[in-house]
C-alpha cells in the first residue's frame, strides 16, 4: 500500500459515525473496526483519511441496512497537515463504499475528496467530483 504524503491525525475510532458520500444507497455508516490494524494491545484502532475500515450501514437503502461493508475514509473534521505546511480540514466525516478489490461501489462522489486518498487509491479518482 502506498504511503500518504501528509501527516494524518487518526481520530475516527470504532463507534464513530460517517456520512456516506457516494450514490451507492447507504446514507449513514458506523465504524466497526479498521482493516489491517496494528497498535498497542487494548487500544482502539484509530483511523483517518485514506484508511479502509469495516462499517455497518445504519440508514439508507434496505439492501444495505445492518450489513457490514468496506469503506475508505475521504473526509475528516480533524485537520491534516500537508508537506508544504498547509493544514486542511473538512466540515464532516465521510467515506465511500468499496469492494474487496478496492473498486468503488457507487458511480459518483458527493462533495470534495482529499488528495491523499487519490494518491493511495488511483481508481477512486474517476468518480471524484472535486479533489482538494
What's the confidence (pLDDT) of residue 4?
Answer: 80
Asked, for residue 6, whether it belongs to a domain, the answer is: no
Asked, for residue 7, whether it belongs to a domain, the answer is: no
What's the confidence (pLDDT) of residue 62?
Answer: 94
What's the confidence (pLDDT) of residue 6?
Answer: 86
Q: Is the pTM of this model over 0.85?
A: yes
Q: What percent of the chain has pLDDT over 70?
A: 99
Write the burial class of residue 18 (CB in 10 Å: 0-12 exposed, 13-18 middle, 19+ buried).
buried
Asked, for residue 46, whether it belongs to a domain, the answer is: yes
Number of domains in the chain: 1
Asked, for residue 127, whether it belongs to a domain, the answer is: yes
Q: The domain containing residue 89 runs over which residues? A: 17-131
Asked, for residue 9, whether it belongs to a domain, the answer is: no
Asked, for residue 3, whether it belongs to a domain, the answer is: no
CATH code: domain of residue 75: 2.40.150.20
Task: Give tens-digit pLDDT for 8-49.
Answer: 889 999 999 999 999 999 999 999 999 988 788 988 999 999
Asked, for residue 5, whether it belongs to a domain, the answer is: no
Task: Give tens-digit pLDDT for 82-104.
Answer: 999 999 999 999 999 999 999 99
Amino acid at each position: 500500500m502506498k504511503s500518504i504524503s501528509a501527516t494524518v491525525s487518526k481520530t475516527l475510532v470504532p463507534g464513530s459515525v460517517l456520512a456516506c458520500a457516494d450514490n451507492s444507497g447507504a446514507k449513514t455508516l458506523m465504524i466497526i473496526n479498521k482493516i489491517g490494524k496494528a497498535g498497542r494491545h487494548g487500544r482502539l484502532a484509530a483511523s483517518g483519511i485514506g484508511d479502509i475500515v469495516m462499517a455497518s450501514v445504519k440508514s439508507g437503502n434496505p439492501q444495505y441496512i445492518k450489513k457490514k461493508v468496506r469503506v475508505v475514509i475521504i473526509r475528516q473534521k480533524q485537520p491534516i497537515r500537508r508537506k508544504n505546511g498547509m493544514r486542511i480540514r473538512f466540515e464532516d466525516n465521510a467515506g465511500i463504499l468499496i469492494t474487496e478489490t478496492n473498486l468503488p461501489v457507487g458511480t459518483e462522489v458527493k462533495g470534495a475528496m482529499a488528495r491523499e486518498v487519490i494518491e493511495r487509491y488511483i481508481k477512486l479518482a474517476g468518480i471524484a467530483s472535486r479533489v482538494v
